[in-house]
Amino acid sequence: MESQNSVTNVILAGVGGQGVLVASDILAMTALKANLDVKKSEVHGMAQRGGSVVSHVRFGAQVHSPLISKGTAKFLLAFERLESLRYFEFLAPEAKILVNNQKIIPTTVFSTDIPYPEDIENRITQKGFRYFEIDGAQLAEKAGNQRFLNVILLGAVAQFLNFDDELWFASIKERLAEKYFIANRDAFLQGKSIKWS
């Protein structure tokens, strides 16, 4: 479990439409409910066009800046495979990278001759980071809707964070439509129950 005595830095990255910013809101709200200081920043200029979306969430006893410094992120939650490669310089040596194995070809690949990399897991593990792959699309289908992907991924990273489930549930209910709370809660628990090989 992750100690809450120091600042915990989490990067959430994906493409527009995957619910990255909603997920970062829920994470930040959960940390606030745990009586921690929380700062959050986000970049989503191309979000409506399927462009890259990234959010920094920092929480601990005292947090001074919303931006994660290079070499200090303990977690990267990548909603798309290629996004897991973009933020190496921000990761601490012991960082864990949780990757939704979905492949979405970004506009930068469409408009150039640069191929989509096929050796993503090898690149990550060669750098010494711990790599956890999630079949997010399959789990979301099992949960009943692809829109549950972001909550499933939060459940996956929740395994490494020291927050009570009830705090997560309260944040999910507050941030998302209440009529979908039960489905989102179940999707979160599905992510949290993933067994890592």
CA separation, residue 92 to residues 10, 37, 65, 88, 98 (Å): 11, 21, 17, 9, 14
Q: Kindly report which listed range (3-12, 50-59, 68-77, 145-154) carries the lowest average pLDDT score.
A: 3-12
Instruction: Give the count of domains, the chain.
Output: 1
- Assess if residue 138 is contained within a domain: yes
Model pLDDT for residues 163-197, shown as the tens digit of each residue: 999 999 999 999 998 899 999 999 999 999 998 86
Q: How confident is the model at residue 119 (pLDDT cuts 50, 70, 90)?
A: confident
CATH number, domain of 82, equals: 3.40.920.10
- Assess if residue 42 is contained within a domain: yes
- Assess if residue 3 is contained within a domain: no
Are 99 and 111 in contact, with CB atoms under 8 Å apart? no
pLDDT of 120: 87
Residue 181: its H or E element = helix 181-192
Are 154 and 118 in contact, with CB atoms under 8 Å apart? no
- Assess if residue 149 is contained within a domain: yes
pLDDT at 45 over 60: no
Tokens for 132? Answer: 């956890």
- Assess if residue 2 is contained within a domain: no
pLDDT of 99: 95
- Assess if residue 56 is contained within a domain: yes
Model pLDDT for residues 52-91, shown as the tens digit of each residue: 899 999 999 999 999 999 999 999 999 999 889 889 899 9
Please provide the average confidence, as pLDDT, over all residues in the chain: 89
Structural domain span for residue 55:
8-110+117-192
More confident residue, 184 or 125: 184
pLDDT of 2: 42
- Assess if residue 197 is contained within a domain: no
- Assess if residue 144 is contained within a domain: yes
Q: What does residue 164 show for φ and ψ, rounded to 5 degrees?
A: -65, 145
Tokens for 78? Answer: 């990548």
